[in-house]
Amino acid sequence: SPRQLLKDKKVLITAGPTREMVDPVRYFTNFSSGKMGYALARAAKRMGADVTLVSGPTNLSVPEGVDVKYVVSTQEMFDAVMREYGSQDIVIKCAAVADYKPAVRYNSKMKKTNEAWQIEMEKTVDILESLGRKKEHQILVGFAAETDNLEEYAEGKLRRKNLDLVAANDVSKEGSGFGSETNELLLLHADGKKKVLPLVSKDRAAELLLEEVSELMGR
Ligand code: C5P
């Protein structure tokens, strides 16, 4: 088993997509599988951490020894994360949170008509940005999935959301997209340090990322 680099540290990880309902049978979501976040939860556990996983809907099984809180919508993920935040040492936001949700949620199924259906979308709450604003002792890590301008956009998120570290991946690249078994991460630190990780399994990428995070803990 890997070195106990996170022994007795409290680590909160979010994973998977969120889902925004427009009526009881229809929703908006994205292609996130949750694999990277679940790999992080397992790896943190192996490294001796006390792990809480806040998970959107996925097909993955519960990682052993991990406290899982299941959520559906962005608002539910926000509420769950805020409940846990104060007691955590490290927070890693790996979830692919929905950026928009239907402005109106109908309580009964919308009936089909001959007309088009216009759905107005409004912004969801940015969970990580909210955490960044109230950050105290916690180490805050974000993910950035992009299809272009990877480094520039990731750097922007690092600053805007007040993060210690951002793990960026190009989702248009072979082997690092949603649902793939592998990932190729670019790590950007708040202090300007930059590290390119190799294309490896999500389990290995999780270990490498957590090793980097454990180095931040020592400071
Ligand atoms: O969606 P975006 O590219 O801004 O995501 C960057 C980081 O912010 C990710 O770590 C993601 O989990 C987090 N995020 C969030 N709440 C949102 C949108 C993104 O916590 N509403």
Please state the domain extents for the chain.
10-99+121-217
pLDDT at 67 over 80: yes
**Residues lining ligand 1, judged by CB closer than 6 Å?**
74, 93, 95, 97, 99, 124, 126-128, 142-144, 157
Give CA–CA dist 25/4, Å, rounded.
45
10-99+121-217: what CATH class?
alpha beta
* Chain segment 86-98, per-residue pLDDT in tens: 999 999 999 999 9
- The burial of 171, by beta-carbon neighbours within 10 Å (0-12 exposed, 13-18 middle, 19 or more buried), is given as middle
Catalytic residue among 30, 59, 169, 183: 30
Active site residue 30: yes
pLDDT at 202 over 80: yes
- Using the mean position of ligand 1's atoms as its centre, give its distance from the Cα of residue 126 in Å: 6
0.90 exceeded by the pTM?
yes
Contacts of 136 (CB under 8 A, 6+ apart): none
Asked whether residue 45 is marked as a ligand-binding residue, the answer is no
Give CA–CA dist 56/38, Å, rounded.
11
Give the confidence band of 175 by pLDDT, cuts at 50, 70, 90: confident
User: What amino acid is encoded at 10 in this protein?
Assistant: K
pLDDT at 219 over 70: no
- Transcribe 179-217 into DSSP letters: T-SEE--EEEETTS-EEEPPSEEHHHHHHHHHHHHHHHH
Which residue shows structure tokens 């809480």? 52
